[in-house]
Amino acid sequence: MVSGSGYLRTKPIRPKKIVSGVSAAELIDEAFLAYNAGRLREACRLFSRKMLEPNVTVGMSITGALTPAGLGMSSLIPLIEAGFIDWIVSTGANLYHDTHFALGHTLHPGSPFLDDRKLRQEGVIRIYDILFDYNVLLSTDAFYMKILKEPEFNGEMSTAEFHYRIGRYVNELEALPGVGRVSILAAAYRTGVPIYTSSPGDSSIGMNVARCVLEGSGLRLDMARDVNETAAIVLGAKEKGKSGILMLGGGSPKNFVLQTEPHIQEVLGIREAGHDYYLQLTDARPDTGGLSGATPSEAVTWGKVDPDHLPDAVVCYADTTIALPLLTAYALTSRTPRTPSRLYDRREDLYQRLLAKYAEAKTEE
């Protein structure tokens, strides 16, 4: 019996055999048909076919120790340099570990089952199955202490401005023989992609800032400016096109990219509907309270996601270290590079536009 149900009008599951030489994009399209493989295919298609349209501004949140695992070099830098990422919220730890590579240090694959007492005795740091020398930390701290004592850091600034200035120094490191393009800080500096940190004190970079303050530095990271700047970016995106968010993991960075919409609507009273595209790679669950910011449907109730665009929301429950390289390969295969929007250079104009819209909203109260 043949059913007339509309649910059965999709292409039947009948994949081709996997053969030698198949590309990542072909593999995803042809063999990732169900379960979380199916969600990853949906994620790749949402990102490549809709989020990378010219009128979409793409924000990305980064959590988990991705840069120590090499994901910065393999996946994030190519996305940034292709113009596929317009603004970023990252943990400070990812940016700190990102700097190791530009300083010429090496991190090594190891095992999560080593004797950590012996590692401590031998001065070896372990991040799950990644190993590196304790002196890598000391050297990186010394680099930050040196540049943070420069006069340009002796004042108040947003974390975007803070990271952009750091990125200039890291970009100079990459020009040294044998280094190459290894840092997302440097890549973001070159392309004008602003990088924010929602919890700047929660990293070794933040600890070095704290030491500078003890030594009399006037360096202060302006949380309020970060909140307003990121909201201004999203408001500007929605006035001229659409806003899409790619979230790698959860945590504070995920909420920070999403809270831009409640800040616009709930706190500032500016009429808006929510982000248009929502894409998350995560291994967390909502029922334990671990899925920070929860599901797209729940985000609708907060105004974070436009309810009319809820079908354009995908959560892929997968390890980011597996899913992100595949997503990157799919996007680079499917789309030509976009011209970088250089939102860093436009921050002040966007901020002033937010102020104007806020003033309008107050007169309507």
Beta sheet of 195-196, edge-to-edge order: 195-196, 87-90, 56-62, 242-248, 277-282, 313-317
Which of 17, 304, 357, 362 is an active site residue? 304
Is-catalytic flag, 149? Answer: no
Q: Any bridge partners for residue 275, and if so which?
A: 305
Separation between Cα atoms, residue 357 and residue 235, nearest integer Å = 9
* Closest C-alpha among 213, 211, 222 to residue 160: 222
What are the structure tokens assigned to 33, written together?
A: 């048909």
Q: How many CB atoms lie within 10 A of CB 133?
A: 16
Residue carrying the six token digits 């070794």: 204
- Between CA 259 and CA 275 the distance in angstroms is 10
Is residue 227 within 8 A of residue 266, CB to CB? The reply is no
Q: Which two tokens stand for residue 183?
A: 């840092």
Q: Which residues are catalytic?
A: 304
